[in-house]
Amino acid sequence: MNWPLILQSMLPEHLLLAGMLAILGLEIWSGRSRDGHALAVVAVAAAGIAALWLHATGFSAAPFAGHYSVDPYTTLPKAVLLGLALPVLLISRDDFAETPYYTLVLASLYGACLVVSSDSFLTLFLGLEILSLPVYALVVLGFLRPQSAEAALKYLVLGGAATATLLMGMSFLYGWNGSLELAVFGDAVLAGEPIALAGAALIIAALFLKAAVVPLHAWAPDAYEGASAPVTAYMATVVKAGVVFAALRVIGTTTLTPPVLGLVALLPLVSMAWGNLAAIRQTSFRRMIAYSSIAHAGYLFFAFLGAGAGRWEAIVFYVVAYGLMNLLAFAALPRGADDERQDRLDALKGLHRRRPAAAAMLAIAMLSLAGLPPLPGFVAKFLVFRNVVEAGHTFYAVAGLVASYLGLYFYLRVIQYLYMGEPEPSAARGQPRRLAFAASALCLAPAVLLTFFPGWLLDRL
């Protein structure tokens, strides 16, 4: 084995692993519970910088040929995932001081980075499980309300179902082709043989379940609501981005054909419509974000209808824009002692009078998630639908645009609460998080850059 090549190729993963070992080792050495926040932030920042360095130098290698490789198309998504994790860690400071939380987050990020560099279903499966398993524990770790345990159990059971579905699809493709390489998926779609199409459909269904695409979304509202705000932010951004990048590795530049095309078109379309409609009725902010996330999962998978060349550009830009705006919203949210009460949308009424900066950031996040120009969310949706139209699927593009307009109401309703609602005398006031300003700045600065200069990122994709 070429150990220097392995060390350089897996530098982001190794830095995350070093962070985990340092956090655990420090606690074992001291003999008492330690706050791993600073070490976790340093480890993730170092791993993100390493991924950017590998991308900037155009580094390419295959230390484990056929299973794991690194090139500019893998190092950039790693940098995106690690960059999105930094604001999550910053807003976690007030909610978690225990070592297990930060160790679990770093372990999950390790799995996400492994997914992005996967060349075989074996590595992809391993990465997805390392990404997902710590999150099951994170949902229940805060235990801020009685529903947390139930939400974690539901997430665990349905996550297990997704794992079983993925394994079944992999076994079908292996039985058909005798290979575990990800390229087999494209061959299966184009071959059109029953066992190959069954395997491809099961793999897509497993990814839909992990990304909460309708009708495989039942776990998301309860898990998002039952978890603490930082964990919900992590699931809505990093976990979802990791699953979408896994789909990008599997599908690649394969041109989808019926019946797989119908599956990837119809279910995400239903997800857009149902997610936006169901969000209208929610009274919990995190539950509303869950249904918003379900709708955005539809947009992200809709991008696979487009041509292979534009698929990469649309998905990466959408992940960045969507992730930044979600994290900006969570960073701006006040934190209260009564989590259930503070999570109600009513608690946002009149926020602009108490904390005008927080209200402004929440409003920007909602407008961008709604896809209104000139914010990054508009450019992201434009790229997705443009690629769908250019691929000749005009009907699906029009239907998707109609479904996206359904989401305007509930995003604008949040802004109405912020600026036009009268705060209730008994409403929970909440306090800003200690590192909320730093987390908001990390989200707002690139969002402003993408608003005025979206080409800056697009030219680098």
Segment 201-227, tens digit of pLDDT: 999 999 999 999 999 888 999 888 888
Note whether 38 and 81 are within 8 A (CB): no
Task: Examine the pLDDT at 106 and tell me if it is beyond 90.
Answer: yes
Mean pLDDT of 277-283: 90
Tens of pLDDT, residue by residue over 157-197, are 999 999 999 999 999 999 998 889 999 998 998 888 899 99
Q: Which residue has the tokens 């170092």?
A: 46
Please tell me the predicted confidence (pLDDT) of residue 456: 85
> Which neighbouring-strand residues pair with 431?
335
Task: Examine the pLDDT at 454 and tell me if it is beyond 80.
Answer: yes
- Tokens (6 digits) for 362: 């929440």
Please tell me the predicted confidence (pLDDT) of residue 96: 78
Note whether 250 and 203 are within 8 A (CB): yes
Please report, rounded to a whole number, the percentage of residues in the chain having pLDDT higher than 90.
54
107 contacts: CB under 8 Å, gap ≥ 6: 16, 20, 130, 133, 134
For the whole model, what pTM was predicted?
0.93
Determine the Cα–Cα distance for residues 411 and 276; give it in Å rounded to an integer: 10
Lowest mean pLDDT among 194-203, 366-375, 425-434: 425-434
Please tell me the predicted confidence (pLDDT) of residue 337: 66
Note whether 461 and 313 are within 8 A (CB): yes
pLDDT band with cut points at 50, 70 and 90 for residue 357: confident
pLDDT band with cut points at 50, 70 and 90 for residue 350: confident
Query: Is the Cα dihedral 133, 443, 382, 453 positive or negative?
Result: negative
